[in-house]
Amino acid sequence: MQAFLILEDGNVFAGTSIGSTRDVISEIVFNTSMTGYLEILTDPSYAGQAVVMTYPLIGNYGVCYEDMESRKPWVDGYIVREIARRPSNFRSEDTIEYFLKKNDIPGIAGIDTRALTKILREKGTMNGMITCKEDVDIEKAVKELKAHKVTGVVKKVTCKEKKSYLAKEFVPTSADLARSGLKVRPYKTGHYKVALLDYGSKDNIKDCLLKRGCDVTVYPALTKAEEIFADNPDGIMLSNGPGDPKECVEVIEEIKKMYQRDVPIFAICLGHQLMALACGGDTRKLKYGHRGANHPVKDLKTGRVYISSQNHGYVVEDGTLKKEVAEKYFINANDGTIEGYHYLGKNVFTVQFHPEACAGPQDSEFLFDEFINMMEVQVCQK
């Protein structure tokens, strides 16, 4: 069946429908990862967005369910050049096309994703509609697209109840073993208790802590700081998540209270942006975001560059956090934007990129060890 992608600027791409045939309006973003399509589809940070994959062939190693980064796919839509009809991989359980259909996600294949990405790079991220209808009134659709706004996505993706996971019960999947193998740290199991705030957390954040011997309790995004402190955690993790950070007003208020206490905090992506907002900083939207698995980030203390996995449309605006509050930890080596902060006089550090990878390189997974060292020092000082 034919499908169309109509962009806010009036451009129309014709292709073939994959997945659900229902209409969808969404923000259109592109991801340059060459692999890891299932991790991308199931990353809750994509809620409210339809993803264009720039790599031309998607689905060639099938769907390996243990690679999912959350319980279901969250993208609004999926846009590819070519979808592999017959995957080849001993771990594969389904095709991507079947996975999209089963989860009611509309998609479009067979379009020139290079031309589409060029438009998004030149004009910036914009809204689009995926539809199978041939008789759509383009002018009317463009008006609707211009008015569309992504809202309320953190509330949509966060867990409904708190849930605890014990390090001693952690069973690595074959993917975990392939990823980390012998690198799993020999920490005493259950040594530290970490509170993980789920703003749309990828599973590998929890797993990176569990496999390092931390017990992890995952809390819904709107949990009050007092409730978390009542459980007496040794450290707090603020997760990644979808949408505009400035929309998370109630969450920011709770983070302010967490920051006041002496508990070590490590924050990733949305968590990093929310911590900056809680401490008086500001965020802004990037023209077309950073989404891919090879973004270079530079550690400003050592000068060392790590290749990181990224997925964000917003950044903390340089110079908005006071010098006495936070010091830049990482910057993006491509465009110089902020990629991390150390908060001065606090056991708090945050990163804009994804040290948990999945998909992408594990260069920066050591940051979880840095967080554990912080908890170790804090516990020894008590």
Ligand X SMILES: NC(=O)CC[C@H](N)C(=O)O
Is 8 known to be catalytic?
no
Q: Which stretch binds ligand X (CB under 6 A): 132-140, 240-248, 300-308, 331-339?
A: 240-248
**What is the β-pairing status of strands 192-198 and 235-238?**
parallel
In contact, 224 and 196? CB cutoff 8 Å: no
Q: Is 342 among the residues known to form the active site?
A: no
Q: Give 3 or 269: the residue with its C-beta nearer to ligand X.
A: 269
Name the H helices within 28-185: 37-41, 96-102, 113-123, 138-147, 153-157, 174-180
Q: Report the alpha-carbon distance of residue 257 to residue 224 in Å, rounded.
A: 9
Q: By CB under 6 A, tell whether 269 contacts ligand X.
A: yes
CB of 273 to ligand X, least distance (A): 6
Please count the residues of this chain forming the interface with ligand X, following the rule CB under 6 A.
Answer: 11
340 binds ligand X (CB under 6 A): no
Q: In Å, how far are 166, 291, 364 from 214, measured between CA atoms? A: 7, 29, 18
Among 270, 279, 338, 367, binds ligand X (CB under 6 A): 270
3-state secondary structure of 255: helix
Rule CB under 6 A: say whether 313 interacts with ligand X: yes
Nearest approach in angstroms of CB 47 to ligand X is 9
Among positions 27-66, residues that touch ligand X (CB under 6 A) are: 45
Is 248 among the catalytic positions? no
Pairwise CA distance, residues 308 & 322, whole Å: 26
Q: Which of 312, 356, 358, 365 is catalytic?
A: 356
Mark out the alpha helices in 90-173 (DSSP H runs).
96-102, 113-123, 138-147, 153-157
Instruction: Report in angstroms how near the CB of residue 316 gets to ligand X at its nearest.
Output: 10
Planar angle of CA 372, 376, 380, nearest 5 degrees: 170
Q: Is residue 340 marked as binding?
A: no
Question: Which position among 208, 214, 248, 269 bears the catalytic label?
Answer: 269
Burial (CB count within 10 angstroms: exposed 0-12, middle 13-18, buried 19+), residue 71: exposed
Residue 352 labeled ligand binder:
no
CB of 270 vs ligand X, minimal distance in Å: 4
In terms of CB distance, is 200 or 235 closer to ligand X? 200
Establish whether 271 is an annotated binding residue. no
When binding is defined by CB under 6 A, the residue of 19, 59, 73, 241 that contacts ligand X is: 241
According to DSSP, the β-strands at 24-31 and 49-53 are parallel
Binding region for ligand X (CB under 6 A): 45, 240-243, 269-270, 311-314
Catalytic residues: 269, 354, 356
